[in-house]
Amino acid sequence: MQPYLPGKPIDEVKRELGLDRVVKLASNENPFGPSPKAIEAVKEAAEKMHIYPDGAAHDLKQAVSKHIGLPVSNLIMGNGSDELIHLIGLVFLGSDQDEMIVGDPSFSRYDAATQIGPSKLTKVPLDADYRHDLVAMSKAVTANTKLIFIANPNNPTGTIVRKAEFDRFLDSVPSHIAIVLDEAYFEFSEGAEDFPSARDYVAAGKNVIGLRTFSKAYGLAGIRIGYGFGPAEVIDAINRVREPFNANSLAQVAAIAALDDAEHVQKTVQNNKEGLEFLASVFTSVGAKPLESYANFMYADLGRPAQPVFQALLEQGVITRSGHALGNPACLRVSVGTKEEMEIFAEQLKNVLKMETA
């Protein structure tokens, strides 16, 4: 197994490079931070940190149930959706004969689910438009396939699969195979035309597991809370393998409060829309090819090795993600930040590319 390599922390870059100003656009975080309501909820709950959290996450499940319109029996909370990916692997993959299918490139933590098994991992390359190739993924299914992960929107590309093509895919895959729709960036993509929501498939009784998180649009990445939903018997199985107190008390109250602040999410989503438009224009102006993104980041083909560009930006105090670590060495992934952060990135990117060609 390879350790997960997160985006560099701001303080680390300041120490290493002796910089006073650092802009982090590497980890797809909410540039506005958490909802003020969530902050207040955590302050109030902090006095009770000596008490174990509610292992059943009763109040949070009730809030999520109301939010997405599914019964509590279909819900499970996690220490971020990352933990739920791990737990799903534990439930479905138990021998070296079991197989799991993922797109490539996609979120790296899917790989770990098979390596812990240990089971076989089949990676199906994305299509020419950097989208999940559902036809090829369907053809990769064997008698031993137990699990399929589809990040929608996909990380690192930001692309999505549409409802019509996902419906065909679902019909083509044996019904005993669990299909995970990882919707970590759901709030940024839910308004997209013909977007397939995992919630609807679960409500219809399909063997689909949805994953969502409070880390992105809700700005709670540092407190680690996410949730999954699927068939009740699958949720029961996942519940059996989780740690007893996997969702901590502060995370639970913060998530409940965050769900109650629709205005904060709307502000985040609107800023993201404008940020994506800005990034697309910046990348296009320097001759790069940005992908149409439905997440809170943009993936662009620079037409040259991205690692030197990433390093040069880093030295100027702008943290991005190089495609070298994400499955395509010519691409750069940049998170949407505040308007000021976007302008700093644009200026430094143009300066870096000018120096390269000088």
From first to last of its 358 residues, what are the pLDDT tens digits of the chain?
777 778 889 999 999 999 999 999 999 999 999 999 999 999 999 999 999 999 999 999 999 999 999 999 999 999 999 999 999 999 999 999 999 999 999 998 999 999 888 899 999 999 999 999 999 999 999 999 999 999 999 999 999 999 999 999 999 999 999 999 999 999 999 989 999 999 999 999 999 999 999 999 999 999 999 999 999 999 999 999 999 999 999 999 999 999 999 999 999 999 999 999 999 999 999 999 999 999 999 999 999 999 999 999 999 999 999 998 787 999 999 999 999 999 999 999 999 998 876 5
Listed in order, the ranges of the chain carrying CATH 3.90.1150.10 are 10-34+263-357
Beta strands in 144-192 (DSSP E): 145-151, 178-182
Contact between residue 306 and residue 26 where contact means Cβ atoms under 8 Å apart: no
Digit-coded pLDDT (tens) for 213-255: 999 999 999 999 999 999 999 999 999 999 999 999 999 999 9
CA pair distance 357, 339, nearest whole angstrom: 28
Q: How far is CA 47 from the centre of its chain?
A: 31
CA distances from 295 to 53, 178, 183, 335 (A): 32, 24, 10, 9
> Over the Cα atoms of the chain, what is R_g?
20
- Coil, strand or helix: which one is 356? helix
CA pair distance 244, 182, nearest whole angstrom: 23
CA pair distance 221, 24, nearest whole angstrom: 14
Q: Which amino acid would we find at residue 33? A: G
Phi then psi dihedrals of residue 94, to 5 deg: -130, 0
Q: In 10 A of CB 220, how many CB atoms?
A: 26
Phi then psi dihedrals of residue 177, to 5 deg: -85, 125
262's enclosing H/E stretch is helix 262-285
pTM, entire model: 0.96
Contact between residue 313 and residue 302 where contact means Cβ atoms under 8 Å apart: no
CA pair distance 155, 133, nearest whole angstrom: 15
Tokens 């993600």: give the residue: 321
| Domain at 37-259: CATH architecture | 3-Layer(aba) Sandwich (3.40)
Listed in order, the ranges of the chain carrying CATH 3.40.640.10 are 37-259
Tokens 């396939």: give the residue: 145
Q: Whole-angstrom distance between the N-terminal and C-terminal Cα of the chain?
A: 41
For the CA atoms of 320, 123, 102, 139, what is the dihedral angle to 10 degrees?
140
Q: Which amino acid would we find at residue 259? A: L
Digit-coded pLDDT (tens) for 335-356: 999 999 999 999 999 999 988 7
Burial string for 43-72 (b: 16+ CB within 10 Å, else e) reads eebeeeeeeebeeebeebbebbbeebebeb
Contact between residue 104 and residue 155 where contact means Cβ atoms under 8 Å apart: no
CA pair distance 301, 330, nearest whole angstrom: 6
For the CA atoms of 129, 154, 132, 310, what is the dihedral angle to 10 degrees?
50
Please name the fold of domain 10-34+263-357: Aspartate Aminotransferase, domain 1 (3.90.1150)
CA distances from 340 to 7, 53, 158, 261 (A): 20, 39, 22, 24
CA pair distance 341, 337, nearest whole angstrom: 6
82's enclosing H/E stretch is helix 80-92
Shortest CA distance to 119 belongs to which of 101, 141, 138, 133? Answer: 101
